[in-house]
Amino acid sequence: MAMWVFGYGSLIWKTGFPFDESLPGFIKGYRRVFHQGSTDHRGTPDFPGRTVTLEAADGEVCWGVAYKITKEEDKRDALTHLEVREKQYDQKEYLDFFTESNSEPAVTGVMVYIASPDKKSNNNYLGPAPLEDIAKQIVKAEGPSGPNRDYLFNLEKALSQLGFKDKHVTDLANQVRSILSETQELSVDATANNI
């Protein structure tokens, strides 16, 4: 039997495990939010970055990519990889995955990693904050996998290449670009004033 994994964050552009097929589509009843702290990839314990998790939301959909894995060895490799990579995500759900709005699920029981808001089982959950505050945190955060802003920009680009729109991701990326632009202007002004 095939195993299916749904990627809605970095798994969209950097899978890291063998798979037989990838299918763009969506899950229902959830939205993507930058509420999870990252202390091991895009931030540090002293200054966490922010990565996406899913939040239950009636009537909403979250677009991403489902990966089909059929060989037993590949399933083991994928699970081993994901258990390390997603170790700060404390829940696994098995959801219906769709490729068209008014159809039956294309896949039933696709595995999805979710970081819950339960601080007992997920001590890295940061929760909601004003868009500008999230953007400022993303601008400053950096971890072993690189700057937090690269994660955001890669997600924005990957969703765009698939033809998906996610207002939260776009608004946040624009806010981060705005902060970076202001920072550059300030450093250019400071350099000019020192000459």
Contact 47, 6 (CB under 8 A): no
Two tokens, residue 42: 């895009």
Residue among 37, 31, 5 nearest 115 (CA): 37
Catalytic residue among 21, 72, 86, 142: 86
Amino acid at residue number 143: G
The sheet with strand 107-114 has its strands ordered as: 21-38, 49-69, 3-7, 107-114, 91-97
Q: Which stretches does DSSP call E strand in 70-187? A: 91-97, 107-114, 142-143, 146-147
- Those residues with Cβ within 8 angstroms of residue 124's Cβ, 6 or more apart along the chain or in another chain: 36, 37, 38, 39, 48, 88, 115
Residue 86 is a catalytic residue: yes
Catalytic residues: 86
